[in-house]
Structure formats: C-alpha cells, structure tokens
Homo-oligomer: A and B are copies of this chain.
Amino acid sequence: MGCFGWISFTTDYGLSDCFVATCRGTIARAAPSVQVIDITHLISPGDIPRGAMLLAQSVPHLPPAVHLAVVDPGVGTSRRGIAIETPGGLLVGPDNGLLIPAAEVLGGITRVVALTERSWFAAEVSATFHGRDIFAPVAARLALGADLSEAGPSLDPESLIRLPRPLVSSGEGFVDAEVISVDRFGNVQLAARAEHIDHLGDQLVVAGSRAVRASSFGQVPTGKLIAFVDSADYIALAINGGRAVVILSVLPGDMVRITSALPG
C-alpha cells in the first residue's frame, strides 16, 4: 500500500511504566521519520471491547496510518498476531477482536496475514511483551512501505476472532440499547443510532428518568437529562452541567431502555 507517515498507537499499557516508551523507541529506531499519534494508553488492562471502540471511533479523524493497537490478555498463548489491510489504512495487533471494528470503519478487510516472519521482529522476542517485540517492529516496517504479504501467510478474514456487536433492539414503543462507553464528562454513549429512536419523539423516558431529545446539552436547562446524537454519531445521554452516568448508574455493557414519555 506504499508508505505511511503516521502510526496511531492504542494500548492498555498505562502511562506509569515504560511500556509505551519502549514501543515508541522501537518505532523510532526502525522508522525515525514516521510520526506517532497516541490514541490512548489508559484502557483498563485487558478491556478489548473498549480498545476496539476507541480505535474505531478515532480512525475516521486520523491521517492515513498504520494503526498499532495492543490490548492483549492472551499474549503468550496461541493467539495469532495479525496485520489487516483496508482501503483506509493498515492495522496491526493481536487476533482477539480488537482491530475488527476499526477495520470495518476503514472500509472493510481486503487482506489479512498472520505475523510469522521472524526477521520482522525484534532480535529477541520476549514471551510477554509482543507490543514491543513483534507488533511495533511490524507496524514500523509496514509504515516504511513493506508489503503485507511478506509479514506472513494470508488468513481467511472469516477465521478472525470477533467481539459480539453491541446490542440494540426495538420493540413496541421501546428501544433497548447497550451502553458502549462512559466518557470523562459522565456522558453515556449507547449502541443506538438516531434512526433507532427518532420515532419515539422528543419526550423520552430513559432507564426510568425523564429525558428530552435535543441536539446539545447547551440547549436545555441545567440539570436536565437529554438524549442527543454525539460526535461519533451514536445516541448519548448527558446532563447540562452534570454527569449523566451518576443519575443513570450504568456501566459499559449494561442495557438501557428508552421509551416515549407520551401515551402512544
């Protein structure tokens, strides 16, 4: 796919140890002219769904890149390392579902290989830190223009591990939607899209609380719960001047029921 000037970098490594730095150093030594954009390194250890979500919601706004992502509780088992080609860029990481939602956002999987070519790895590969010893060197080499096919044998995309899709379902006068995330502002993002709830009108009941449909928390009085289309095009719940998550008391993975507040 030619060269990439950018590598994006997503992990659960935290910022208190030196895991991120040694990966950055590995990239810098192999591809000093490639720039790195950190997505986040504060994913809870092993939280693959959150890593997949953040990566998928970030890639539309990044330049063409090799997206390096490592949330890898299976490191040291037989789980495969993979590199995925899409129309919008490459993805490198473990085969545990982490990369798939972003690959779909980038146009779908056109090719995927298992990372087996040891000459692409660090000279010594540790048993527990494939981010530094396998994934970062592979990402650097791909950014420099090496072809995916040299990284290892092609895989059937159908063979890849996939996460369950966040749930959203509709019934007579209600929508049930899974909580995808809670952000720093206490806003609660749901798996639902605008089309799922448009028919319920502007006066809603969300998880037992009255809410109004609005375009922004800035348009309602302080303290009011709203449902709005957020910056990633999902339905989210917010309180003007407050934290919706406190009122709703939900976590990612919980289901939230939305109904019309008016008799149907």
- Which A residues fall within an 8 A CB radius of B? 5-6, 8, 12-19, 21-26, 28-29, 32, 35, 37-43, 45, 54, 57-58, 61-63, 73-77, 126-129, 132-133, 181, 183-185, 215-219, 228-231, 238, 241
Contact = CB atoms under 8 A, between A and B. Distances in A.
A216 B133 CA distance: 15
A215 B124 CA distance: 14
Contacts of A42: 15-16
A96 to B, nearest CB: 12
Given A37-B24, A58-B18, A219 B126 contact: no
A75 B231 CA distance: 12
A127 B228 contact: yes
A25 B61 contact: yes
A139 B216 CA distance: 23
Given A28-B62, A73-B241, A128 B217 contact: yes
15 contacts: A6-B28, A13-B184, A15-B40, A16-B42, A16-B43, A19-B184, A21-B37, A21-B58, A74-B218, A77-B216, A77-B219, A126-B229, A127-B229, A128-B230, A129-B231
Contact of A16 (B40, B215, B230, B238): B40
A186 to B, nearest CB: 8
A76 to B, nearest CB: 3
Given A22-B61, A126-B229, 14 more contacts: A14-B184, A15-B15, A18-B39, A21-B38, A21-B61, A21-B62, A25-B61, A26-B61, A28-B37, A32-B35, A74-B218, A127-B228, A128-B238, A132-B231
